[in-house]
Amino acid sequence: MSGSQRVRVELASRSYDIVAGNGVLDDAAAWEGLGRGVQALVVSNTTVAPLYAQRVSDALKTRCSGVAVLELGDGESHKVWGSVEAIVDALLARGADRASMLVALGGGVVGDVTGFAAACYMRGIDYVQVPTTLLAQVDSSVGGKTAINHPLGKNMIGAFHQPLRVIADVDTLRTLPQRELVAGLAEVIKHGAIADDDFLAWIEANLALLLGRDAAALQHAVVRSCEIKAAVVADDEREAGQREVLNFGHTFGHAIEAGLGFGVWLHGEAVGCGMVLAARASAALGLIDGDRADRVTRLVANAGLPVRPPDMAVDRWIELMRHDKKSRGGSLRLVLLDAAGSARTRAVGEDRIRDLIGAALR
C-alpha cells in the first residue's frame, strides 16, 4: 500500500476527512473512529458488491455491532425512490436506530441514493462514502450533495447531507471499465481548468499515466481534485454562489445528456464536450484568449473525451439549457473561465450561445 493522504473538508461541526490512497480499504487507520458499536448497512450494487463488499464488511466488523450488505441494481435507473425504500426497509428490518450508519460503496449513483437515504432515515443518520469510480472519488462523494431522480428531471429530489468520511481507494479503479475512467477524467480536468493552472499542466504532462491507471498518478489526481473541491464547498456549502463554478461545462453537458437521453453519453463525456463549448464561450466574450480555449479542447480530446457536440437543433439546445438550475428569470448563466485561471458564473445572451453552438456544429 502506498502512503495514504488526507484532505479535510472544513464545515464547522460537519467537517470530515477524505482519505485517499492505494489499498486504504484494508487500512484500519482509514476507518478509525467510525461506527463504534453501531449497526452498519453497506449499500452497493450488483457489480461493485461482489468485488469489494467483503473487504468493507471486514473493516467494519471489527468496530460495528452488526454489518449487513444491500445490493441495489446497477445503473442510473436505480437512482429512484424504490432504492431509497429498499434501504429504509433493510434498516427497519434490522431495527436500525438513529445511531446506525450507512456506507455507500460504489460510484456516484450508489453514493447519491445512499446519501439521500441517510438524510431521510429518522430525519438523518450518519453515512460514509466509499467511492469506487474516478468520478465519485474526485467529485460526487465529496461535498454532501445527495439526490435521486424524478421522471421529469435528474437530481430533482435531494438534500445536502455531508458524509462522516470519504474513503477513496484508488486500487478499486483497476476494475473500472476504461470508458468510465475516461469519463471521470473530465471532472479532474474541470478542477484544473477552474482553479489551478499548475494542476492543469500536471494533467497534460501525466495524461498517459492516468489513462494507464498508474496508482501514484491517480492518487495525485484524486487528492488535488478533492483539495480544490473541498475549498469551494467550505466557502459555499449550499451553492449560494461560488460553488456554481464546479458546474463548469455542465450547462452544455446536461443539455447533451437530456437531449440524447440519459446514458447515451456518460455524464463525464457530456461534461468534457460542455467544457470545450464553455471555454470557447469564454474566449468569444474576451475573458480568455483563444489559445487557452484551444488548450482545454486539446486536453479533453487527448483524454479520449468527445469535443464535437452531438447534432441537435439549436432551438432544442436552448430549450434544454433553460432547465439548468443556474438559470435565473429565463436568462442563461454559464460558468466561464477567466485569464487569472479561475472561473465565475455570468449571464450570457441567448444570441451568443446560438452563434457558438451553430459554429461548433458546422
DSSP state of 73: P
The CB-nearest residue to ligand NAD is: 108
| Active-site residue, 220 included | no
The DSSP string of 6-40 is: EEEE--GGG-EEEEEETTGGG-HHHHTTS-TTSEE
| Active-site residue, 191 included | no
**Crossing angle of helices 108-120/81-93, nearest 10°?**
60
The C-alpha atoms of residue 152 and residue 68 are separated, in whole angstroms, by 33
Q: Indicate whether 224 belongs to the interface with ligand GLY (CB under 6 A).
A: no
Binding residue (CB under 6 A) for ligand NAD from 41, 64, 79, 171: 79
Binding residue (CB under 6 A) for ligand NAD from 71, 112, 126, 239: 112
Q: Nearest distance from residue 140's CB to ligand GLY, in Å?
A: 6
Q: Indicate whether 115 belongs to the interface with ligand GLY (CB under 6 A).
A: no
DSSP state of 137: I
The C-alpha atoms of residue 348 and residue 74 are separated, in whole angstroms, by 38
Q: Indicate whether 78 belongs to the interface with ligand NAD (CB under 6 A).
A: no
For the chain, the 3-state helix, strand and coil shares in percent, each to the nearest 5, are 50, 20, 30
Q: Nearest distance from residue 11's CB to ligand NAD, in Å?
A: 15
Contact 284, 352 (CB under 8 A): yes
The piece of 137-145, 266-274, 284-292, 328-336 that touches ligand GLY (CB under 6 A) is 137-145
Choose, from 71, 79, 161, 187, the residue flagged as catalytic.
187
Q: Indicate whether 167 belongs to the interface with ligand NAD (CB under 6 A).
A: no
Q: Indicate whether 272 belongs to the interface with ligand NAD (CB under 6 A).
A: no
Taken in order 50, 52, 55, 56, the sign of the CA dihedral is negative
**DSSP bridge partners of 159:** 146
Contact 44, 136 (CB under 8 A): no
| Active-site residue, 239 included | yes
| Active-site residue, 243 included | yes
User: What are the grid coordinates assigned to 241, written together?
Assistant: 454562489
Using CB under 6 A as the binding criterion, the count of chain residues that bind ligand NAD stands at 28
Q: Nearest distance from residue 112's CB to ligand GLY, in Å?
A: 10
176 contacts which partner out of ligand GLY, ligand NAD, none, CB within 5 to 8 A by kind? ligand NAD
Which positions from 138 through 157 interact with ligand GLY, judged by CB under 6 A?
139, 143, 145
251 contacts which partner out of ligand GLY, ligand NAD, none, CB within 5 to 8 A by kind? none
Q: Indicate whether 104 belongs to the interface with ligand NAD (CB under 6 A).
A: no
| Active-site residue, 254 included | yes
The C-alpha atoms of residue 362 and residue 357 are separated, in whole angstroms, by 9
Q: Nearest distance from residue 266's CB to ligand NAD, in Å?
A: 6
Binding residue (CB under 6 A) for ligand NAD from 176, 203, 293, 300: 176
| Amino acid letter, 296 | V
The whole-angstrom distance between residue 158's C-alpha and the CA centroid of its chain comes to: 15
Contact 167, 31 (CB under 8 A): yes
User: Which among 93, 113, 148 is positioned nearest to 102, based on CA atoms?
Assistant: 113
User: What are the grid coordinates assigned to 191, written together?
Assistant: 478542477
Q: Nearest distance from residue 111's CB to ligand NAD, in Å?
A: 7
The piece of 87-95, 107-115, 251-259, 300-308 that touches ligand NAD (CB under 6 A) is 107-115
DSSP state of 109: H
Question: Which residues are tagged catalytic?
Answer: 123, 145, 187, 229, 239, 243, 247, 250, 254, 267
Give me the residues that bind ligand NAD (CB under 6 A), please. 45, 47-48, 51, 74, 76, 79, 106-110, 112, 132-133, 135-136, 139-140, 143, 145, 155, 172, 175-176, 180, 183, 267
Give me the residues that bind ligand GLY (CB under 6 A), please. 139, 143, 145, 243, 246
